[in-house]
Protein backbone atom coordinates (compact mmCIF):
# COMPACT_ATOMS: atom_id res chain seq x y z
CA UNK A 1 0.00 0.00 0.00
CA UNK A 2 1.21 3.55 -0.68
CA UNK A 3 1.56 5.72 2.40
CA UNK A 4 1.36 9.45 3.02
CA UNK A 5 3.12 11.70 5.50
CA UNK A 6 2.75 15.29 6.59
CA UNK A 7 5.47 17.77 7.47
CA UNK A 8 5.47 21.27 8.90
CA UNK A 9 8.28 23.66 9.81
CA UNK A 10 8.87 27.31 10.59
CA UNK A 11 12.01 29.42 10.87
CA UNK A 12 12.46 33.04 11.94
CA UNK A 13 14.02 35.66 9.73
CA UNK A 14 17.43 36.87 10.80
CA UNK A 15 19.57 39.59 9.29
CA UNK A 16 22.93 38.57 7.95
CA UNK A 17 21.85 35.05 6.99
CA UNK A 18 21.42 33.74 3.45
CA UNK A 19 17.87 32.83 2.48
CA UNK A 20 17.94 29.24 1.22
CA UNK A 21 14.62 27.75 0.14
CA UNK A 22 14.29 24.46 -1.69
CA UNK A 23 18.04 24.49 -2.24
CA UNK A 24 17.91 27.90 -3.97
CA UNK A 25 19.68 30.91 -2.48
CA UNK A 26 17.25 33.78 -2.95
CA UNK A 27 18.37 37.42 -2.86
CA UNK A 28 16.85 38.86 0.33
CA UNK A 29 17.86 41.36 3.03
CA UNK A 30 17.24 38.61 5.62
CA UNK A 31 17.69 34.87 5.72
CA UNK A 32 16.26 32.29 8.08
CA UNK A 33 17.77 31.46 11.43
CA UNK A 34 18.70 27.88 12.19
CA UNK A 35 21.37 25.34 13.02
CA UNK A 36 21.64 24.10 9.44
CA UNK A 37 21.13 26.32 6.38
CA UNK A 38 17.54 26.67 7.72
CA UNK A 39 16.01 25.51 4.44
CA UNK A 40 12.49 25.31 5.82
CA UNK A 41 11.13 23.71 2.63
CA UNK A 42 13.58 20.81 2.76
CA UNK A 43 12.85 20.37 6.47
CA UNK A 44 9.08 20.09 5.98
CA UNK A 45 9.58 17.66 3.07
CA UNK A 46 11.93 15.48 5.14
CA UNK A 47 9.40 15.29 7.96
CA UNK A 48 6.67 14.36 5.48
CA UNK A 49 8.82 11.55 4.06
CA UNK A 50 9.87 10.26 7.49
CA UNK A 51 6.25 10.49 8.62
CA UNK A 52 5.06 8.43 5.66
CA UNK A 53 7.29 5.53 6.65
CA UNK A 54 6.91 6.01 10.42
CA UNK A 55 10.63 6.65 10.92
CA UNK A 56 10.61 9.51 13.43
CA UNK A 57 11.36 13.08 12.47
CA UNK A 58 14.30 15.25 11.44
CA UNK A 59 14.90 16.29 15.06
CA UNK A 60 15.70 12.66 15.79
CA UNK A 61 17.82 12.05 12.70
CA UNK A 62 19.64 15.40 12.69
CA UNK A 63 19.56 16.85 16.24
CA UNK A 64 20.54 20.52 16.41
CA UNK A 65 22.79 19.67 19.35
CA UNK A 66 25.01 17.72 16.95
CA UNK A 67 27.87 19.82 15.53
CA UNK A 68 27.85 17.66 12.38
CA UNK A 69 24.68 19.41 11.18
CA UNK A 70 25.82 22.98 11.90
CA UNK A 71 25.48 24.90 8.65
CA UNK A 72 24.51 21.67 6.90
CA UNK A 73 23.09 21.83 3.39
CA UNK A 74 19.52 20.65 3.86
CA UNK A 75 19.41 19.23 0.33
CA UNK A 76 22.12 16.81 1.45
CA UNK A 77 20.02 15.92 4.50
CA UNK A 78 17.03 15.34 2.24
CA UNK A 79 19.10 13.06 0.05
CA UNK A 80 20.16 11.18 3.19
CA UNK A 81 16.49 10.73 4.24
CA UNK A 82 15.57 9.45 0.78
CA UNK A 83 18.44 6.95 0.94
CA UNK A 84 17.08 5.70 4.28
CA UNK A 85 13.67 5.21 2.69
CA UNK A 86 14.92 3.50 -0.44
CA UNK A 87 17.15 1.28 1.67
CA UNK A 88 13.98 0.12 3.43
CA UNK A 89 12.30 -0.65 0.12
CA UNK A 90 10.29 2.54 -0.35
CA UNK A 91 10.15 4.81 -3.39
CA UNK A 92 9.07 8.43 -3.31
CA UNK A 93 5.94 9.07 -5.38
CA UNK A 94 5.40 12.81 -5.13
CA UNK A 95 5.56 15.70 -2.70
CA UNK A 96 3.32 18.74 -2.47
CA UNK A 97 4.63 21.80 -0.66
CA UNK A 98 2.78 24.86 0.57
CA UNK A 99 4.99 27.81 1.52
CA UNK A 100 3.49 30.52 3.75
CA UNK A 101 5.54 33.68 3.36
CA UNK A 102 4.81 37.37 3.18
CA UNK A 103 8.12 37.97 1.43
CA UNK A 104 10.10 37.65 -0.74
CA UNK A 105 8.27 36.81 -3.95
CA UNK A 106 8.93 33.14 -4.61
CA UNK A 107 7.32 32.62 -8.02
CA UNK A 108 10.53 33.35 -9.98
CA UNK A 109 12.36 30.63 -8.01
CA UNK A 110 9.77 27.85 -7.88
CA UNK A 111 10.98 25.98 -10.96
CA UNK A 112 14.60 25.91 -9.73
CA UNK A 113 13.42 24.67 -6.31
CA UNK A 114 11.40 21.87 -7.93
CA UNK A 115 14.47 20.82 -9.90
CA UNK A 116 16.71 20.81 -6.82
CA UNK A 117 14.23 18.84 -4.74
CA UNK A 118 13.53 16.41 -7.59
CA UNK A 119 17.23 15.74 -7.98
CA UNK A 120 17.75 15.26 -4.24
CA UNK A 121 14.86 12.78 -4.10
CA UNK A 122 15.70 11.13 -7.44
CA UNK A 123 12.20 11.74 -8.81
CA UNK A 124 11.02 13.71 -11.86
CA UNK A 125 10.29 17.41 -11.47
CA UNK A 126 6.64 16.60 -12.21
CA UNK A 127 6.54 14.84 -8.83
CA UNK A 128 7.48 18.00 -6.95
CA UNK A 129 4.86 20.68 -6.45
CA UNK A 130 5.69 23.95 -4.70
CA UNK A 131 2.99 26.49 -4.05
CA UNK A 132 3.28 29.76 -2.17
CA UNK A 133 0.81 32.04 -0.49
CA UNK A 134 0.84 34.91 1.97
CA UNK A 135 -0.95 35.03 5.33
CA UNK A 136 -2.73 38.26 4.36
CA UNK A 137 -0.64 40.04 7.03
CA UNK A 138 -2.19 37.92 9.81
CA UNK A 139 -0.12 36.29 12.56
CA UNK A 140 3.65 35.90 12.87
CA UNK A 141 4.20 35.03 9.22
CA UNK A 142 1.94 37.91 8.28
CA UNK A 143 4.13 40.24 10.39
CA UNK A 144 7.13 39.01 8.37
CA UNK A 145 8.75 37.36 11.38
CA UNK A 146 9.51 34.19 9.46
CA UNK A 147 8.39 31.59 6.95
CA UNK A 148 6.24 28.49 7.50
CA UNK A 149 5.97 25.45 5.23
CA UNK A 150 3.58 22.52 5.04
CA UNK A 151 4.39 19.45 2.99
CA UNK A 152 2.72 16.18 2.09
CA UNK A 153 4.60 13.21 0.66
CA UNK A 154 3.48 9.95 -0.86
CA UNK A 155 5.71 6.89 -0.82
CA UNK A 156 5.11 3.40 -2.14
CA UNK A 157 6.83 0.05 -1.72
CA UNK A 158 9.21 -0.73 -4.55
CA UNK A 159 9.22 -4.25 -5.88
CA UNK A 160 12.49 -4.85 -7.65
CA UNK A 161 12.46 -7.47 -10.36
CA UNK A 162 14.94 -10.32 -10.26
CA UNK A 163 18.38 -9.43 -11.55
CA UNK A 164 18.36 -5.73 -10.79
CA UNK A 165 19.84 -6.25 -7.37
CA UNK A 166 21.95 -9.36 -7.62
CA UNK A 167 18.80 -11.40 -7.99
CA UNK A 168 17.41 -10.16 -4.70
CA UNK A 169 13.69 -9.64 -4.72
CA UNK A 170 12.20 -7.09 -2.39
CA UNK A 171 8.58 -7.88 -1.80
CA UNK A 172 7.31 -5.40 0.69
CA UNK A 173 3.95 -4.95 -1.03
Q: Is 114 in the site for Mg ion (CB under 5 A)?
A: no
- What is the smallest separation between the CB atom of 157 and Mg ion, expressed in angstroms? 28
Interface pick for Mg ion out of 41, 43, 48, 74 (rule CB under 5 A): 43
Subset of residues 154 to 173 that bind Mg ion, contact rule: CB under 5 A: none
Give the span between the Cα atoms of 59 and 101, in whole angstroms.
23
Task: Note the helical H segments in the chain.
Answer: 40-52, 58-61, 74-87, 110-121, 139-142
Q: Identify the bridge partners of residue 13 per DSSP, sorted by sequence position.
A: 32
User: Which residues, other chains included, contact 6 with Cβ-Cβ below 8 Å and sequence gap of 6+?
Assistant: 47, 48, 51, 150, 151, 152
CB-nearer residue toward Mg ion: 26 or 125: 26
- What is the smallest separation between the CB atom of 132 and Mg ion, expressed in angstroms? 17
- What is the smallest separation between the CB atom of 148 and Mg ion, expressed in angstroms? 10
Task: Name the packing angle between helices 40-52 and 110-121 (round to 10°).
Answer: 40
CB-nearer residue toward Mg ion: 9 or 102: 9
Q: Is 39 in the site for Mg ion (CB under 5 A)?
A: no
Binding site for Mg ion (CB under 5 A): 9, 43
Amino acid sequence: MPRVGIGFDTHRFRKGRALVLGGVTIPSPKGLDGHSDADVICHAVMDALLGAVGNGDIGRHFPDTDARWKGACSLDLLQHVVRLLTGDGWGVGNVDVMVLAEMPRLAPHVQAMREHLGRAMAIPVSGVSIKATTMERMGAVGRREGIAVMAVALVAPVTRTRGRRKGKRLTRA
